[in-house]
Structure 1
Amino acid sequence: MRVSDLARQEMAERLRRAHEEGLIDLSEFDERVGVVWGARTRDELRSVTADLPKPRRQRNHGIVFADSAGGVAMKVLTTIWACVVAVALTSWGIMTLTGLTDDPWWLWVAGPPGVVLLVLYVAGAGRPPRRG
């Protein structure tokens, strides 16, 4: 049976993970990826990874953020934003209770960066892939 470019790409990714885990060295990785991209049938693809252990399930415990560089970046930025908002809201609350201000200035601290994070997330930055 013929093989698609998507299947080749998935197999190349499997080889990349095997290289990262130290199962194959760089020259062997290069050689096997060349075979993957030259493969025409599923049997040719299977032969490339026949000696490798079965792949472990990919970690994607993240419901909100993916386990990728973009997901980690969005998680860090969102955590920093939440901490800054918490400090600003607490400061504003203390200042309001003591009569120093009645202006909701903390919204200016929370709003603009929050909107930027939301736009990035809606655009797909750091989101886990859809299942389905």
Structure 2
Amino acid sequence: MAFQRGDQVEVLNKEEGFEGSYFPAYIIPRISNKEYIVQYKTLVQGDGSGPLREVFSTDKIRPKPWDIVATDFCLSEVVDAYDNDGWWVGKIIRKMGSKYLVYFKSSSEKKAYPLHWLRVHQEWKDGVWEYSKK
């Protein structure tokens, strides 16, 4: 997929400790047919001087997912939880009052989130968004 300057995207991070996370960003310029410079919306330079920019290959960049309104989640449903400036893929393992306990396979952690910090998990496959929530 070809992106244009200013497109809202998410960048997949596969570094140790960040597996299964997507960070919101904008496309800055295209370097080649396979690489872009992105500017993160939420991450800043180490010295705090401004937004962090990095080069990514197209296989690590996806368009911003659709906004799907969810009023509830079911047990075992795969979701994205917003934490540490990005979206992390996890699974609902319990509902606790108004919060959902989410299990993250990549780190074996469990953490409770209110509904507004969760979203329907979507996968970008062959240029189409796929999701299980109807």
- Structures share a fold, TM > 0.5? no
TM-score when scaled to structure 1?
Answer: 0.26
Whose strand fraction is larger, Structure 1's or Structure 2's? 2
TM-score when scaled to structure 2?
Answer: 0.26
